[in-house]
Amino acid sequence: MSEYENNRTVSNALPVGYRFNEFEIKEVIGGGGFGIVYRAWDHQLERTIAIKEFMPSSLAVRNDDMRLVLRSERFGKAFTAGLNSFIQEARLLARFNHPNLLHVLRFWVHNDTAYMGTAFYSGTTLSRLREQHPERIDETWIRRMLPMLLGAVKTIHQEGYLHRDISLDNIQIQDNGLPVLLDFGSARRSIGNISDETETMLRPGFAPIEQYTDDNDSEQGPWTDIYALGAVLHTLVVGAPPPVSVVRSIEDNYQPLMKRRPQGFSPALLNAIDQALALKMEDRPQSIDAFAALVETPVAGIDDVAQVNRPGTMLVPVETEEETPKPAGLKRFMMPGLVAAGVLVGVALGGVLFHGGGSESVPTASEAPAPATPANTASNTAVAANTSSAPAAVTTPVATNAEPVALVYVRMREGDQLTLNGKQQAVVPASNGFASLQLPAGQYELRVTGHGDARNENITVDRPGTWFINPQS
């Protein structure tokens, strides 16, 4: 829910205790120029939800009977257009069931306006998080959040829609660290288009030039949202959005981040931001996948999001070409751009709760066996079913009755051999260039030999987690 401030005394708000059948208003979460958001209790399902009300304060006020009435008859056309857009947006969002997209439970018309009931999300907007805790936001934090945000936007694009309102105010960061992309701002834009206030309806710095042009729908595409994503990242990196695109079209005073080189951020990320913010739409990445490739980050799929018990900790998954046969398994996505020297990612997991499944599990590898309970054999070897494209046996040559706690991906080439603490492992790399091992707690020396060289890496597994390793010569 964008554009809202934590103001418990929002004017024109419904009173606490007001009922929509099973929904009871408990408090006002916030309000802005185009709507009011409430925390409500669902008495039928006994859960907390959020309710968003279409309430354009510049066009209407609330009567004593709680119905909205126009401030003037001349606002009728703008109010109707905004109301219709609000309803259409609710219908669109209700089609999606993505963990990083605002989930609409239902919508209805009442009090001469419209409402949507949504899932209730904890946390705060990315805008407020950046303002209050800028020290938390570094490249590591961005790379943990970004795959899920890109996955949400890609889901919208795959359905043939654009968001067209991506900004820090429209991204909720939950207490567990997971992002949620909020509403599309359709009602706000519709009112602006009719009232000739298009520029005030767009977010300066986040809207590309094609959004300022009349009758420009044919010019807008995935590159339009990619510009806004670039502006979000630009703001996170340097603390301010890029110059307004309309101003840039007259005199482009954008300073490329690759020239500014802010400390602590990689060239890959800075270059991707610069390209996303290209003034000409044909110079930007044309798809989310193309943008992700520039950033060198994966794009999370709808089933790839894992949230853990501790806030701010999350899994970095890897893509597979087909579903594993285990019910709790996840699809995985490639992450070639994260390969660097040594241990790439070690994400501590206090217990992984996969979205929608409600069960705890250890993630599977890309085109590699799904985790299985270790067999009660003398060698204590855990072997899971192979996929058709990249058969690989996973061996756990460690202490008796030790439960695997870590999923380790090792960078290998075709024909390489892997030894673990001096014992050869029957593993081969999948098509993404990684072989996988499931390891209990302990200290390990990994050695990859082949193609005339040998590469080594030592790791200590002291907690559940996922590691990506690129042994060095």
pLDDT at 347: 35
Amino acid at 430: A
DSSP 108-145: EEETTEEEEEEE---SEEHHHHHHH-GGG-SHHHHHHH
Architecture field, domain 124-295: Orthogonal Bundle (1.10)
Contact between 30 and 6 (Cβ < 8 Å): yes
pLDDT at 324: 32
CA-to-CA distance for 157 and 221, rounded, in angstroms? 9
- The SS3 call for residue 257 is helix
* CA atoms lying within 13 Å on the CB side of residue 178: 26
CA-to-CA distance for 184 and 244, rounded, in angstroms? 20
DSSP state of 8: T
Amino acid at 145: M
pLDDT at 225: 95
CA-to-CA distance for 360 and 341, rounded, in angstroms? 31
Contact between 120 and 48 (Cβ < 8 Å): yes
- The SS3 call for residue 436 is strand
Which residue, 458, 450, 203, 179, is CA-closest to 307? Answer: 179
pLDDT at 81: 87
Superfamily designation of domain 19-119: Phosphorylase Kinase; domain 1 (3.30.200.20)
pLDDT tens digit at each of 473 positions of the chain: 444 444 456 888 999 999 999 999 999 988 777 889 999 999 999 999 999 999 988 899 999 999 999 999 998 998 998 898 898 888 888 888 888 999 999 999 999 999 999 999 989 999 999 999 999 999 999 999 999 999 999 999 998 888 988 999 999 999 888 999 987 765 455 555 554 444 446 788 999 999 887 555 668 899 999 999 999 999 999 999 999 998 899 889 999 999 999 999 999 999 999 999 999 999 999 999 999 999 999 998 766 664 333 333 223 333 333 333 333 222 222 233 333 333 333 333 222 222 233 333 323 333 333 333 333 333 332 222 223 333 333 333 333 345 656 777 787 888 899 999 999 998 887 655 677 787 888 889 989 999 888 988 888 887 665 666 778 76
CA-to-CA distance for 119 and 460, rounded, in angstroms? 40
Cβ-based neighbour number of residue 48 at 10 Å = 11
pLDDT at 433: 66
Cβ-based neighbour number of residue 434 at 10 Å = 25
CA-to-CA distance for 362 and 438, rounded, in angstroms? 9
Query: For 360-439, where are the alpha helices, taking DSSP H only?
Result: none
CA-to-CA distance for 288 and 469, rounded, in angstroms? 26
User: In which residue are the tokens 């934090």 written?
Assistant: 141
β-bridge pairing 465-470 and 406-411: parallel
- Gyration radius (Cα) of the chain, Å: 25
pLDDT at 258: 97
CA-to-CA distance for 171 and 185, rounded, in angstroms? 12
Contact between 399 and 382 (Cβ < 8 Å): no
The separation between CA 68 and the C-alpha centre of its own chain, rounded to angstroms, equals: 36
Q: Domain-by-domain residue ranges, the chain? A: 19-119, 124-295, 306-470
